[in-house]
Structure 1
Amino acid sequence: MINFAIVGCGHIANKHAEAISNAEGANLIAVCDTIPEKMEPFVEKYNVEPYTDLKELLTREDLDVINICTPSGHHTGIAVQAANAKKHIVVEKPIALTLEDADTIISACKENNVKLSVVHPNRFRPVMMELKKIMDDDKLGKLSHANATVRWNRNQEYYDQAPWRGTKALDGGVLMNQAIHNLDLLLWVMGDAEEVFSMSATRLRDIEAEDVSTGVVRFKNGALGVIEAATTIYPKNLEETLSVFGETGSIKIGGRTANFIEHLNIEDINDESSNDIIEGVKADPFGKPGHQWIIEDMAKAIVEDREPVVSGEDGRKALSLVLALYESAETNTPVKIN
């Protein structure tokens, strides 16, 4: 049994606690927050030990993994302390808000020989695993382009829940907070990005960062991509889509949270088989929760002494793409991705 502790007891910590409690081979033993009241529901529900001092928590010899659920701008300091204490790390997306901080986290984990996983749970949706299988089998042939769309609503009340929401120093905007999952998926199925051009704006929400963004990307394989992300959709979430087009096939994944195959036409897959894939996804569109996949994978990675499926480098790539889009929007020029 691998023992986990959660640092930061805000909204997302609930998903982590539930995932750990349901995960095979995982056990939640502690929570940590500077505000004791935030820990009370976790202590009552999961019978865990509360800590207001991170250093004290990290001295526990029976603790294996730290789940970092604090605002994004605080990830780095906590991760470095945890790595130096020889604790493995599961960190919420984004891994950090700068590449320098991401590299600091990755280096600290490598130097201390601890494992690092970034929470990009959308990869584990049944529909996304079907898409990855199609892409890995090269069923679409030479790729033409892809499209990622996030048309969601996050009203002013959402941003007013906490003073750090929507700030550039601790949170970021729609690209960094919501659409980074979709950018991770784009990179996962299309390969590394090479160049971007983007425009963004803060149109409807009273925040520092952007609430709407559009951009184009050129992948290293020559294919193009289109990105649209917004939290300005009235009055509620409309759709999240991921489409991929190639020489011998096309596929569109959609729904309010991209859980269904809306179009599938591939040269090597007949209509009956295509329908079986579509209906198979429809029968269980949500599957095992993505956070539970991440937790179980970390537990297995420790036991098997391997890298987690979603690594620190994966988290860095998604962050790098977001930051390139930000730089392009600020400078009004194309930006190469290193």
Structure 2
Amino acid sequence: MENVHFAIVGCGHIAKKHAEGIKNTPGATLVAVCDTIPSNMEWYVQECQAVAYQDYDEMLKNPKIDVVNICTPSGSHAPLAIKAAEAKKHVIVEKPIALTIKDADAIVEACKKNKVKLSVLHPNRFRPAMMELKKMMDEGRFGKLSHANATVRWNRNQQYYDQAPWRGTKSLDGGVLMNQAIHNLDLLLWLMGDIDEVYSMSATRLRKIEAEDVSVGTVKFKNGALGVIEAATTIYPKNFEESLSIFGETASVKIGGRTANFIEHWVMEGMPEEEVAQLKHKINENPYGIPGHQCIIEDMVQAVNDDREPIITGEDGIRALRLVAGLYQSAEKRMPIKAHDIE
């Protein structure tokens, strides 16, 4: 296996998860970082021996870089990803892939045109409980699906939004659906399939931000099943729960906890209680598993070496973005929106 060299652009909070994932992945090396603020890069220079760049275009000239990890505010993803692709660098982009479908499409097109690989950070798919649930759904253990419930009840206080001027803005960040709940919505689509129609209401109730801090909505999937979505950053005084529940004719499952890592309910036809207890014990022993960021970086290393598509693709990122865009569109127009009308 050939060593794959990574660069990170945007050295804020989330970038350290990328750096740790690279550090813990065999065959991966962090060689460069880029940020407009020099002090933000000091940790990466000292701890990872990465070369620091303030100029992104200059960094992209470095021939050693194979993959660029984009960790900047969401509204800036598209131009940075497109430049990386044009420089023949593979791309890992933080969620959401972009804030508009037009920008997301442009990222995917640039990566295809330049024959580079693209992966989007939806790491929650690698949670042990979610992987078990996905396996059971793929095996058809739920029978005909009835409905699903995706819930994010978290706290992001005003201090959180005040940390940076881009937070909570519509142009660079988005609200609870685009920022916090999009991981949960990606899981919902991964498990339930594509959407047919959405209907939503949203509000900005407690935080002084442009975007929404609470949203409720419903979904009809192409398979005929229904879904309920609830997302809020207004929960007092701290994160309460993130959960995903799936109901079918032969199974009912809820994965919950503060970050949807634990089996809270698992009843399945043909699965004895003893087997369910063993599964719960297995998950409780290691509910978080290998960090999702590391899993995605490991996958990119394998994808580059094997010349295959990453597990989580640009199209996957667009699918989650389209759901959020549809919910926004419905709330704005106060009417149901068909999937083919989402803009």
One-letter code of the match for 1:118?
V
2:244 match: secondary structure = strand
Find the counterpart in structure 1 of residue 255 from structure 2.
Answer: 253
Q: Tell whether 2:208 aligns with 1:202.
A: no
Q: 1:90 aligns with which of 92, 100, 122?
A: 92
- CA displacement at 1:268 relative to structure 2: 2.0
Deviation at 1:123, TM superposition (A): 0.3
Whether 1:306 aligns to 2:308 is yes
Quick one: which of 146, 157, 167 aligns to 1:144?
146
Q: Which runs of 4+ in 1 moved over 4 A?
A: none
| In 1, Cα distance between equivalents of 2:282 and 2:191 | 20
Name the residue aligned to 2:38.
36
Answer yes or no: is 1:280 the counterpart of 2:297.
Answer: no
Could you tell me how far 1:54 is from its partner in structure 2?
A: 1.0
SS at match of 2:159: helix
Q: CA deviation at 1:146?
A: 0.3
Partner secondary structure for residue 178 of structure 1: coil
1:156 matched to which residue of 2?
158
CA deviation map 1:129-172 (0-9, x unaligned): 00100110110000000000000000000000000000000000
Provide, for residues 7-34 of structure 1, a one-character-per-residue CA deviation record: whole Å limited to 9, x for no partner. Answer: 0011111111111111122110110011
Aligned counterpart for 1:56 among listed residues 55, 58, 63: 58
TM-score, normalised with respect to structure 1: 0.99
Alignment of 1:175 onto 2:177: yes
Structure 1 equivalent of residue 187 of structure 2: 185
Distance 1:325 1:268 in 2: 37
Task: Give, in whole Å, the separation in 1 of the partners of 2:174 and 2:182.
Answer: 11
Aligned to 1:4: 6
C-alpha separation in 2, matches of 1:140 and 1:252: 13
Mark the runs of 5 or more structure 1 residues left unpaired by the alignment: none
| One-letter code aligned to 1:206 | K
Q: Equivalent residue for 2:105?
A: 103
Q: Deviations over 1:69-97 (max 9, x none)?
A: 00000001001100000000000000000
Is 2:273 the counterpart of 1:271? Answer: yes
Corresponding letter in the other structure for 1:149: T
- Secondary structure of 1:177's match? coil
Q: Shift in Å at residue 41 of structure 1?
A: 1.6
Q: Deviations over 1:292-314 (max 9, x none)?
A: 00100011001011110110000
Q: Which runs of 5+ in 2 are unaligned?
A: none
Q: Quick one: distance in 1 between partners of 2:25 and 2:160?
A: 30
Paired letter, 2:282: G
Deviations 1:157-194 (A, max 9, x none): 00000000000000000000000001100000000011
2:242 counterpart residue number = 240
TM-score of the aligned structures, taking structure 2 as reference length: 0.98
Counterpart Cα distance in 2 of 1:250 and 1:25: 41
| 3-state SS of 1:175 partner | coil
The aligned counterpart of 1:67 is 69
Q: CA deviation at 1:271?
A: 1.1
Three-state SS of the structure 1 residue aligned to 2:177 is helix
Deviations 1:240-259 (A, max 9, x none): 11000000011000101111
Match of 1:334 among 333, 336, 339: 336
Distance 2:8 2:103 in 1: 21
SS of 2:230's partner is strand
SS in structure 2 at match of 1:315: helix
Distance of 2:28 and 2:189 partners within structure 1: 29
Q: Which amino acid aligns with 1:17?
A: A
